[in-house]
Amino acid sequence: MVTKDITGNLTLKQKIMIVLALAIPAMIENILQTVVGFVDTLFVAKLGVIEVTAVGIANAVLAVYIALFMALSVGTSSLIARRIGAEDIEGAKTIARNATWISLLIGLILGVVTFFFNEPLLQIMGASDEVIGVAVPYFKIVGIPAFLISFMFTFGSILRATGDTKTPMTVSIWINVLHIVLDYLLIFGIGKFAGLGVEGAAWATVIVRLIGAIRLFQHIQRSEVAFNLLKAVIPDSNKWTRELLKVSLPTAAERLIMRMGQVLYFGLIVRIGTETYAAHTMAGNIEAFAYMPGYGLAVAATTLVGQCYGAEKFKEARSYGYITSIIGIIFMAIIGAIIFVLAPWLASWFTTDPTILDMVVTALRISAVSQPALAIGLVLAGALQGLGDTKSPMYSTAIGMWIIRIIGVYILGIHLNLGIAGVWYAIIIDYFARAFFLAWKFNRHFRVIKNEE
């Protein structure tokens, strides 16, 4: 619980320390998950091209599931943070309990969908029969118990909303180390055990998710928002369920809008050329590490702005939004400078082809310039979610993806024949447009509050 610490008359230095105390564990957790995903792909790649393609296609479908689970976790964090800020612990417990049941229900529904429609879902991705034959067992093992993925997101969001970002980080460290060990043993085997190949990778993922969900739930039960899953219906339970869905649905729509837009957006890049698409993918994988500070600070912004808003400390809520944004700009400007200078070396990790190498360097250096705008967009999206406004980030994603990026790639990349540079010019225009729009929406919320007062 951080409410008592954040809503008082604190100095700027104290506020900065509170932001960093919440954000840094979330950053570490995100970086670790990215590294483990990289190692997981590396292990599977040693099995062959068919195997790594199969896992990639299955995970592309699972990404849609994850988008829904992330949406629920955003709504959960927002509402619990505001209830804690209002010192309504019973309300926070009710939201945590309802979110758990909803996440279980969604996970079970998607598990049934996976069981009955696994092959058609993979065929939508355009995979060959050979790839689908390898992907189906992996997809079924990981996708049928989808509720475990949902629990991981929901339980983590419950703890973060209370101001505890260290516990999800600690659990993530242990289960991801275990994941790497299990991955290797179950894929390649040891001694007389020959290993299970791609299915071993799937079972390693399921086992660590089960352990992670259990550990996070145990920590929740030791927190101030501990709840009994089997307790009879709590007063106002339906009201909080409706509120939770009201906040979560726009986020779910945002994720789906982004996924659908990416299909068309990637298709346009493929039209420019296969080498351009490969270079874009490589640059995107490198840039993903730059996102980590932004995501960590977004978690801090949701918690701090949400708790202050719930406590009706509106000036403090606005202050934390600004402070977190400025920290994000500094962090990501430094990362942008590093990417700009080291772009040739970073690109050489992925390719030795001089043409593709030059395109990756071009993309990375254009991206480096946009990092401060990306920081503002990520952090203020989290701050707005803390206020309960999940529609504004949805609108920014819809406009950014479907208007700026898609039209931008067509005009700059294809029509003006700028290639990879045109693609990334469209991306940085998107980043800056989102930053201005979300900053305007964040300020507008507090102008409305001031006028009402």
Nearest alpha-carbon partner for 75 in 103, 108, 33, 105: 103
What is the pLDDT, as a whole number, of residue 375? 95
Backbone angles phi, psi at 219, to 5 degrees: -70, -35
Q: How far is CA 327 from the centre of its chain?
A: 20
Q: Cβ of 417: how many Cβ atoms within 10 Å?
A: 9
What is the pLDDT, as a whole number, of residue 213? 92
Task: With beta carbons less than 8 A apart as the criterion, state whether 201 and 186 touch.
Answer: yes
In tens, the pLDDT along 179-211 reads 889 988 998 888 777 778 888 988 998 999 999
In tens, the pLDDT along 17-48 reads 988 888 888 888 777 776 666 677 677 777 77
What is the pLDDT, as a whole number, of residue 431? 94
- Residues sharing a CB contact under 8 Å with residue 232, sequence separation 6 or more, in sequence order: none
HEC readout, the chain: CCHHHHCCCCCHHHHHHHHHHHHHHHHHHHHHHHHHHHHHHHHHHCCCHHHHHHHHHHHHHHHHHHHHHHHHHHHHHHHHHHHHHCCCHHHHHHHHHHHHHHHHHHHHHHHHHHHHHHHHHHHCCCCCHHHHHHHHHHHHHHHCCHHHHHHHHHHHHHHHHCCCCHHHHHHHHHHHHHHHHHHHHHHHCECCECCCCHHHHHHHHHHHHHHHHHHHHHHHHCCCCCCCCCCCCCCCHHHHHHHHHHHHHHHHHHHHHHHHHHHHHHHHHHHHCHHHHHHHHHHHHHHHHHHHHHHHHHHHHHHHHHHHHHCCCHHHHHHHHHHHHHHHHHHHHHHHHHHHHHHHHHHHCCCCCHHHHHHHHHHHHHHHHCHHHHHHHHHHHHHHHHCCCCHHHHHHHHHHHHHHHHHHHHHHHHHCCCCHHHHHHHHHHHHHHHHHHHHHHHHHHHHHHHHHC
Give the number of C-alpha atoms closer than 13 A to the C-alpha of residue 97, restricted to the C-beta side: 22
Tell me the C-alpha distance between 86 and 413, whole Å.
Answer: 50
What is the pLDDT, as a whole number, of residue 67? 80
What is the pLDDT, as a whole number, of residue 37? 63
Q: What are the average pLDDT values for consecutive 10-residue runs of the chain, which has 453 residues?
A: 56 87 83 69 74 77 83 84 84 88 92 91 76 87 92 90 86 87 88 82 90 93 85 58 77 79 77 81 80 87 88 90 95 93 88 86 93 94 89 90 90 90 93 95 88 70
Nearest alpha-carbon partner for 66 in 205, 176, 193: 205
What is the pLDDT, as a whole number, of residue 50? 77
